[in-house]
Amino acid sequence: LGVCYANKAQLLRDEGHPDKSLALYEKAQAQHTISGDTLNSGKAHLLVGNVQCGDGNAEVGFQSFKKAMAAFIEVKNPMWMARTT
């Protein structure tokens, strides 16, 4: 379910609706947390950071990138870590 929320959030972001996109990413994040899916949780943080930075909120976006990096380190996934550096 979290992946579905994230996919819809990405579509909304692409359509120019950052606030609606962030709301769905929050739902995706909650689902990933409940299921213990750390990799997709990190992906959600990464995408949230992209939306936040694109919306002119770089400091908050940077915090999301840091959360993404922590998740990718936890699951030892270098491919996704490279996307946050």
38-51 pLDDT, tens digit per residue, is 999 999 999 999 99
Which pLDDT score is estimated for 77? 72
Instruction: Please say if the pLDDT value at position 4 is more than 70.
Output: yes
Query: CA torsion angle for 58, 60, 61, 63 (degrees, to 10)?
Result: 130
Residue 79: pLDDT band (50, 70, 90) is confident
This model's pTM is above 0.95: no
The mean of the pLDDT values for the chain is 90
From CA 2, how far away is CA 31, in angstroms rounded?
5
